[in-house]
Amino acid sequence: MGCRLKVGAVIQARLGSSRLPKKVLMPLNDGVTILDLLIERISSCHFIDRIIIATSTNENDNELEEYALAKDVSFFRGCEENVLSRFYECAKKFNLETIIRITADDPFKDPDVIKNAYDVYTNGNYDYVSNTIKPTYPEGIDIEIFKFSVLEKAFENAHLASETEHVTPYIWKNPDIFKIKNIEAEKDYSNIRITVDYEDDYNLAKKVLKNFYPDILFGYKSIVSFIEVLNLQNNIERNEGYKKSLKEDLNGS
């Protein structure tokens, strides 16, 4: 039997959000914070060898290091703006062969979606697997899995703001270089939002967890049903941060 790949879930986190500062440490229900819930949910993916919080060296993020130490979770601190370099240095330090990119403001990442993506990734020997190139899953259920060698190539060649601030654009923009697979849901849920960027998102997330608690491993379809039945959808544009970086590309050219 061959040696199993070392898989790391790298959680991209910082506390300096202009919209909702320190949101990932805000409680959702019964003292459970956004980051607590996220870590609990992805911890149920038993093929993940290590969970790492990757934050910045900015002193504003010291509290995240303290959180990681208190929770006995691995952490890494790197460049605040160049998140690609942060991921690369983190993966290099922890000797990861496969990286699962997780964003900390998505507390409802679905373990079944992650497992399905990982199965596709391994069985197809892909360089990069995601459900974000053509979004059909709710925003907040995004998942990206890629090889360290691919991350390294992106680190060495990416130069645009949109490519360094968001880790993976260089990869999925180059399907001629990398073996890429996009996973689609059986139904288009891309208009549904289950991420936390704004106060309205936070209030919705609290309602969701309160509805299902103490169960914390409910699937995204259950959340979608809950949102649709109660008509709780927040109408906010998808991928605002990436679109902002594209404007920076144009301004810098």
What are the mean pLDDT values of the chain's consecutive 10-residue runs (253 residues total)? Answer: 72 90 95 97 97 97 98 97 97 97 98 98 97 96 97 96 92 97 96 94 96 97 92 62 54 60
Q: Can you list the domains of the chain with their CATH numbers?
A: 7-252 (3.90.550.10)
Residue 236 is predicted with a pLDDT of 56
What pLDDT is attached to residue 209? Answer: 97
Q: How many CB atoms lie within 10 A of CB 232?
A: 14
For the entire predicted model, the pTM comes to: 0.90
Residue 31 neighbours by CB distance under 10 Å: 7
In this prediction, residue 225 carries a pLDDT of 94
What contacts 31, CB < 8 A, 6 or more positions away? none
The dihedral built from the CA positions of residue 199, 204, 210 and 213, taken in this order, carries a sign that is negative
Q: How far is CA 140 from the centre of its chain?
A: 8
Give the pLDDT of residue 244: 57
Task: Give the count of beta carbons closer than 10 Å to the beta carbon of residue 71.
Answer: 13
Rounded distance, CA 117 to CA 108, Å?
A: 16
For residue 1, the model assigns a pLDDT of 38
